[in-house]
Structure 1
Amino acid sequence: MGEAYFYHLTRRPLEATLPTLLTRARQQGWRVEVRGRDAARMAWLDEQLWLEPKDAFLPHGIAGGPHDADQPILLTTGGGAANNPQCVMSVDGAEIAPDEVIARERVCVVFDGNDDTALAAARVQWKTLTDAGCGAQYWSEESGRWEMKAQREASS
């Protein structure tokens, strides 16, 4: 059973933080689905991932191409990624279901703490997942470095 990690962005924007999270997931050997809500926003993230990190390459693609199943990182706007991910990263309030947390190694919910709507959506996701018995950790970069601020153990 996996866990849900919530990343509360307050200092660096998504396009600066996501490459770091993706690099760490890939170092674990995981395939990753980056799930958003808007196709144009995912196309923009695709462009950003070609630019960052400057000293590395993050192999990725946007869902809907002929090689989706082969993509180590697949950007999508819906669940059920064709690349069979071990890790799902939700951005821009994309939904994550408790059964996805159970089925994956890790689920990451990355949200902009300077956006009241995003903050409220993340709180709802935290409650939904922890009420369903999923383990969860809440991480904040408020101090300038990532610190775990809360943790809920999985319940049976």
Structure 2
Amino acid sequence: MQVDFYHLTATPLERALPSIAQRIVAGGGRLLIVSGDEGQRGAIDRLLWSYSPESFLPHGQAGGDDDASQPVLIAADVAPANEAANIALIDGEWRDAALDFERAFHFFDGDRIQEARAAWKVLADRDGVERRYWKQDDAGKWEQAA
């Protein structure tokens, strides 16, 4: 199980998340995007339809009749109705249920850095969990820092 911590500084979630989602779907995978914030879920739903004019990223919000067929599903809870092996926690809140997935992406900004550090430390003691910390350089490019 791999957990990637993404510290959002120069690049906002709205630019980082679509590229990760697109790579997962292009590779035949599925992604569950989780946020406890209804407004954020709605904004991400709209974003995934319009973030790039030359691409199409099929997705839906949880609670519909076709949840199981969605390559990308946006939900309030960690319940992969689309049988996703990947999860993106986008509201800055770590959830231990993410450890049931093959890969977790934990996005956080400066307001949530203390919680991210606490999750990082707790996960250090978990068997079978590989942690990676991604930060941005001065040019905004992602680089693995730990």
TM-score (norm 2): 0.91
Structure 2's unaligned 5+ residue stretches are none
**After superposition, where does 1:47-126 map in structure 2 within 5 Å?**
47-97=46-96, 100-101=98-99, 103-112=100-109, 115=110, 117-126=111-120
> For 1:28-80, what per-residue CA distance to the aligned partner results, in whole angstroms no more than 9, with x for missing partners?
22110001111121011101111112210111000011111111000011011
Matched, 1:145 2:119: no
Q: What amino acid does structure 2 have at the position aligned with 1:148?
A: Q
Which stretch shows the higher mean deviation, 124-133 or 8-17? 124-133
Displacement of 1:105 in angstroms is: 2.2
Describe the SS at the equivalent of 1:74: strand
CA RMSD of aligned residues (A): 1.5
Residue-pair matches, total:
144
- Give the SS at the match of 2:145: strand
Distance 1:53 1:19 in 2: 9
**Matching residue of 2:123:** 129
CA distance in 2, matches of 1:147, 1:95: 21
What amino acid maps onto 1:69 in structure 2? A
Percent identical among aligned pairs is 35
* Contact kept? 1:33, 1:74, Cα under 8 Å: yes
Deviation readout 1:71-91 (Å, 9 max, x if unpaired): 100001101120011100001
